[in-house]
Chains A and B, each alone.
Chain A
Amino acid sequence: LPEDLYKDPGTAYIREVEIGKGAKAFKVGGTNVLPFHLFEGEMRHPPRIAMEVLDVKPEDWPESLTKYFAEVLGDPAAWAKKCVEVYGAEAVCVYLLGTDPNYLNLDAKHAREVVEKVASAVEVPLIIWGAGHAEKDVEVLREVAEVVGDRGAVIGPVEEANHRTLGATAMGYGLPVVASSPIDVNLAKQLNILLENVGVSLDKILMDPSIGALGYGLEYTYSVMERIRLAALYAQDDKLQVPFVCNVGREVWKTKEAGLPSDETLGDQEIRGILMEAITSVALALAGGDLFIMRHPKAIELTKTIISGLMQQS
């Protein structure tokens, strides 16, 4: 088959962003082709998965998920340790849900303690994810950055509203950031530009396109990510040549279908939930996702299996 019939590699590369420091660090990005198009270019790094740990005991997780963490929920350090030692997590994302002013409104000191404990319990790279409240996150992540400054961690979400302060904090410690924008090509690009303007290098940015779960807006995120990736690789849009991070677990496990009990009609609850989480991640990996935050150990395993299948050396 003549190659010009089907080969059409990108004309640029997605930047490589280093996650963590030291022996367990890894990179994401570094590709010049659409996802898994290995016949025409390279993906220097496979998509990676971080396991999510909450700072407080989750209230609304279904049992099909909590049973894997039963004895460690409410103890973030032990929880993180279990993710790494039992489930082989390559990275841990600490979601500081408890600091949300609309929820428990726990203070920055609480966040600091949680992160300190997790940081000393595991060696894998950390992602510290604030509550998603622009003002509160500034306060909280500033405090946290002090703790993780030396060992390195990704911090976020940075939004347009707090990009100056959080950008400065991240730069102060040389930390990469999660740049969150609501599923829109231009908004994603604009936030990257804004961050660059305050001095954050594109090599330190992971784009979070705000994902929708399977059945809950997945297709919108899928297409926005595809468009961003096409612009980055084929239209020399250098502000978009940045890897994606997709926060999958929390979107999937709050859906109705993941929580419905087992029955004749929809089958086994756990299998259904596992597939919903794995399919969301896999679909978004096909659209360009580089780093995934997930919850269920078996969904993660399944996602890893297919990624390694797609990347197998021939």
Chain B
Amino acid sequence: MGLTGIQIMQKLPKTNCGDCGFPTCLAFAMKVAAGQVEIDKCPHVDPAVKEEIAEASAPPIRTVVLGSGEHQVKLGGETVLFRHEKRFENPTAVGVRVATDMAEEEVSRRLSAFKRCRWERVGVQLEPQMVAVEDAGSGKEAFVSLVKRVREELPEAVLVLMSGDPEALSGACDLCGEHRPLLYAATLDNFKELGELAKEKKAALAVKGENLGETARISEELLKMGLKDLVLDTGAQSVRELYEDQVIVRRAAIKKRFKPFGFPTITFPYRYARDFLSEAILAAVLIPKYAGAVVLSDFRPDVLFPLFVERMNIFTDPQKPLVVEEGIYPINGPDENSPVLITCNFALTYFIVSGEVEGSRVPSWLLIKDTEGLSVLTAWAAGKFGADTIAEFVKKCGIAEKVKHRKLIIPGYLAGIKGELEDELPDWEIVIGPREASGLPAFLKEWKAA
């Protein structure tokens, strides 16, 4: 992608002054080419060259930044078609729609759902990002005041401002101030006017064509006008078309560097669905398959939670599993009589197991063995969580000094290694725990009684 390190080096001052933090211009250039450092870090490079290099080394799907301050959301920035090739960069932004023709309590319900639908899982924050405010033809006043309300109640939400009336959009933009919104949408009829408006207000601009071809055409015109931050709605008419459009846009941008499609997309699953669950399952297709943003008609925790978990799964880095550090983790204030459990250092496993132990309220010692981020059975199968390595760890970690008893609880899935582990750890009694961590609270309560 883009320029090579050597090509970039040719354009640098070649003084090897070191102000960029690298010993030589070449070293710096290599990092820029690899996308690990911004060209801005060299204070001496010619602005025109800077522009050129930034352009060439930019991801084929532009990163569009919305919002402000700590409440920024990035859309796009993607460089691959498949997550195993690199990783997907910016998780699909999920938003909820409110409109000027909605009853007051319908709006309130959505805004409060926006606040409530957030969870932490495996140390990752799961939360919504956007509110799409739609002008349903009730006039500029109504639109602007709804935008004002959303801004006040949900300062963290980035906004999609949806209106056919440039006046209304302009008014709403002024209200947003620094908080950069996405204006929806430039069509074949109004793109000049909206393009100018977006430029003036420094807002991002959505493009909505009747189909892919028209979307490309409008996008191209706006590029010519000098707009940089576009978001695409391809105007799909059916579920199938919507999916195919996502694939086509992403492919053309990444494989052919087709500029008009080099932007994140925005999608509205409710336009294609009969009910909320069908809408949600369509969103579940759009998250892995390339939507930059998904706007839902409503928010419910039982629906958003699974969708957010899917998004987290798809957007994790496939090259490095999340890990926690090896060691002894005291939970609920354990003492010398508290149970000792052992598990692996795969973050997912750790969070599930420690969550259950914590929930049990039983003071416990949780031993975490480094398994290079592999789950219990995966690590066992890979030879990183067998009797020999577990025994070695138990001996050296120092748990023997912390407890008087010698009972070690192992995961139920490792029942098969009990005998072997007892041979390796003759002082210890090996207790087989439940298979699923959800069985731990009941199990630990009994352990205590015993």
Q: Residues of A with Cβ closer than 8 Å to B? A: 1, 5-6, 8, 34, 36-39, 102, 182, 214-220, 222-223, 226-227, 230, 254, 256-257, 259, 262, 264-269, 271-272, 274-276, 278-279, 282-283, 286, 302-303, 305-306, 309-312, 314
Contacts and interface: CB of A to CB of B under 8 A. Distances in A.
Contacts of B348: 215-217
Given A218-B310, A222-B313, A279-B310, A38 B284 contact: no
Contact of A314 (B241, B252, B316): B241
A133 B211 CA distance: 53
Nearest to B316: A219
A222 B302 contact: no
A304 B82 CA distance: 25
Contacts of A314: 238, 240-241
Given A265-B119, A302-B278, A314-B240, A271 B438 contact: no
Nearest to A298: B277
Contact of B284 (A36, A216, A282): A282
Given A217-B375, A312-B239, A314-B238, A271 B302 contact: yes
A283 B309 CA distance: 12
Contact of B244 (A39, A214, A227): A39
Interface in B16-72: none
Interface string B243-263: 110011001100110100000
10 nearest CB pairs, A to B: A267-B302, A309-B239, A267-B301, A272-B302, A219-B313, A271-B302, A275-B306, A6-B248, A223-B84, A215-B309
Given A282-B281, A303-B281, A312 B310 contact: no
B271 interface: no
A223 B303 contact: no
A219 B239 contact: no
A145 to B, nearest CB: 28
Most buried by B among A1, A37, A39, A272: A1
Given A182-B381, A267-B300, A279 B251 contact: no
A36 B239 CA distance: 11
A270 B227 CA distance: 46
5 contacts: A5-B256, A6-B247, A227-B84, A286-B289, A310-B243
Given A38-B244, A219-B313, A271-B300, A254 B239 contact: no
Contacts of B305: 257, 266-267, 272
Contact of B415 (A102, A222, A267, A272): A102
B376 to A, nearest CB: 11
B284 A278 contact: yes
Contacts of A216: 348
B379 interface: no
A230 B121 contact: no
Given A309-B238, A310-B240, A223 B82 contact: yes
B82 A275 contact: no
A269 B436 CA distance: 19
Contacts of A223: 82-84, 318
B84 A218 contact: no
B255 A275 contact: no
B336 to A, nearest CB: 31
Interface residues of B, number: 55
Contacts of A259: 438
B285 A214 contact: no
Given A39-B248, A283-B310, A215 B238 contact: no
A238 to B, nearest CB: 21
Given A5-B256, A218-B313, A259-B438, A275 B302 contact: yes
A219 B317 CA distance: 10
Nearest to A183: B378
B280 interface: yes
Interface in B342-396: 348, 352, 375, 378, 381
Nearest to A272: B302
Contacts of A5: 248, 252, 256, 258
A1 B212 contact: yes
Most buried by B among A182, A268, A271, A312: A271
B285 A256 contact: no
Contacts of A268: 300, 302
Contacts of A220: 318
Nearest to B280: A275
Contacts of B213: 1
B437 interface: yes
Interface string B271-285: 010000110111011
B130 interface: no
Given A1-B252, A36-B240, A279-B310, 5 more contacts: A5-B258, A256-B438, A262-B302, A283-B310, A305-B278
A153 B137 CA distance: 59
Contacts of A282: 281, 284-285
Contact of B285 (A38, A230, A265, A306): A306
Most buried by B among A5, A226, A256, A302: A5
Contact of B302 (A34, A266, A303): A266
B307 interface: yes
A257 B121 CA distance: 11
Given A216-B348, A275-B277, A222 B288 contact: yes
A292 to B, nearest CB: 14
B161 interface: no
Interface string B228-246: 0000000000111101100
Nearest to B212: A1
